């Protein structure tokens, strides 16, 4: 145990790399469609300003004066961070670099949730990066729950067009009344439109932002076929370039926004992603989403007729 912790502390001393051209695990340079850089519109803040340790404090290592953090999984525990505030709607983004090597059974998650406040009626918006039995072959899974609708999984899986272990890439959640958009390097990989069919299960309550790394051996790799191999521990992921801009909540148990979110009570919203430019995807963003869906999406619950004899209503909308 002490050896693993010492090994992680040594890794904390290693400097991190910045953004490079996206390169696949085969060494081929991919050139995804050009899109607007939404992440350039919002300020970046240090990890220490926006988040605090959730669990596994010995496996959390702050770097660059708190602007970056390493979070690790070893045989003793995983680790995680939680936002210091709770938000209703907003823009939530981080640059993430994933552990390299054999990573089967590992889950690195960047997500929003309120299960600690609404345990039987909670909402979630999830990026789940799933390790693989093959080196560097991480799978991106997105999911969403609203109002405790956990019995219907709404997963989609994407095969990334780059090696996520070699450099940092941006993972972003845009959440407002109109839609939820999952973006990777500013390219939409999924859009959940808020319409009548999905309204009852659309996330509607304030949430915290989380980043965690943990052992998902029971399900994460081929349905649990390949568990975590702790011979390769510790497994260290890194994050930084944090952007958290949303309607700040004063009362975690309330579904109403604080005075900082609404002007003159309910007359004029100050939601940072409530403007017309955030109500729908642009032509560039639609082209990017189409590129991902045609070339990189490997699973959608709306096409899983084995799992669902009767499709969820939004699949037919």
Based on the residue annotation, tell me whether 243 is a catalytic residue of this protein.
no
Burial class (CB in 10 A: 0-12, 13-18, 19+), 174: buried
Q: Which two tokens stand for residue 184?
A: 């990777």
> CA 109 from chain center: how many Å?
6
Instruction: Give the active site residue among 128, 191, 241, 243.
Output: 128
End-to-end alpha carbon distance in the chain: 52
Contacts with 20 (C-beta within 8 Å, 6 or more apart), sequence order: 166, 167
Whole-angstrom distance, CA of residue 96 vs CA of residue 168: 5
Based on the residue annotation, tell me whether 128 is a catalytic residue of this protein.
yes
Instruction: Give the active site residue among 124, 170, 243, 314.
Output: 124
Q: Which two tokens stand for residue 115?
A: 């299960």
Whole-angstrom distance, CA of residue 221 vs CA of residue 214: 13
**What amino acid positions are annotated as catalytic residues?**
124, 128
């Amino acid at each position: 145990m002490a050896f693993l912790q010492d090994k992680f502390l040594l890794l904390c001393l290693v400097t991190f790399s910045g953004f490079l051209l996206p390169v696949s695990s085969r060494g081929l340079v991919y050139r995804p469609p050009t899109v607007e850089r939404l992440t350039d519109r919002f300020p970046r803040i240090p990890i220490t300003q926006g988040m605090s340790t959730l669990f596994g404090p010995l496996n959390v290592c702050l770097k660059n004066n708190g602007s970056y953090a390493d979070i690790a999984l070893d045989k003793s525990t995983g680790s995680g961070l939680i936002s210091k505030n709770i938000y209703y709607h907003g823009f939530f983004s981080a640059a993430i670099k994933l552990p390299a090597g054999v990573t089967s059974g590992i889950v690195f998650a960047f997500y929003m949730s309120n299960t600690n406040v609404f345990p039987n009626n909670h909402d979630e918006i999830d990026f789940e990066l799933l390790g693989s039995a093959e080196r560097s072959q991480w799978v991106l899974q997105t999911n969403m729950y609203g109002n405790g609708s956990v019995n219907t999984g709404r997963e989609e899986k994407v095969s990334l067009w780059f090696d996520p272990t070699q450099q940092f890439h941006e993972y972003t959640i845009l959440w407002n009344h109109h839609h939820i958009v999952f973006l990777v390097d500013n390219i939409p990989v999924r859009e959940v439109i808020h319409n009548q069919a999905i309204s009852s299960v659309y996330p509607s309550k304030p949430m915290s932002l989380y980043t965690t790394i943990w052992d998902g051996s029971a399900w994460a790799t081929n349905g649990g076929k390949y568990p975590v191999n702790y011979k390769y521990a510790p497994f260290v992921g890194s994050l930084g370039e944090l952007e958290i801009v949303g309607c700040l909540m004063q009362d975690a148990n309330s579904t109403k926004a604080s005075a900082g979110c609404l002007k003159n009570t309910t007359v004029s919203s100050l939601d940072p992603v409530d403007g017309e430019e955030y109500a729908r995807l642009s032509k560039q963003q639609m082209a990017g989403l189409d590129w991902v869906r045609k070339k990189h999406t490997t699973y959608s619950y709306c096409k899983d007729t084995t799992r669902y004899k009767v499709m969820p209503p939004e699949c037919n909308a």
